[in-house]
Amino acid sequence: MDKKGVSPVIATVLLIGVVIALSIIVFFWFKSFTQETITKFGGQNIQLSCGDVTFDARYSSGSLEISDTGNIPIYNFNLQISTGGGSYSTQAITDITTTWPSVGLNQGTAYSGDISSAVSGAKSIILIPVLRGVTSSGQEKVYVCGSQYGKTISL
Helices H / strands E in the chain, number of each: 4, 10
Q: What integer pLDDT is reported at residue 35 of this predicted model?
A: 59
- Residues of the chain with confidence (pLDDT) below 50: none
Domain boundaries, the chain: 39-154
Average pLDDT of the chain to the nearest whole number = 85
pLDDT tens digits, one per residue of 60-85: 888 889 999 988 889 999 999 888 77
Please tell me the distance from the alpha carbon of residue 141 to that of residue 61, in angstroms, as a whole number. Answer: 34
SS3 150: coil
pLDDT digits (tens, 9 = 90+) for 29-48: 887 766 556 656 556 677 77
CATH no. of 39-154: 2.60.40
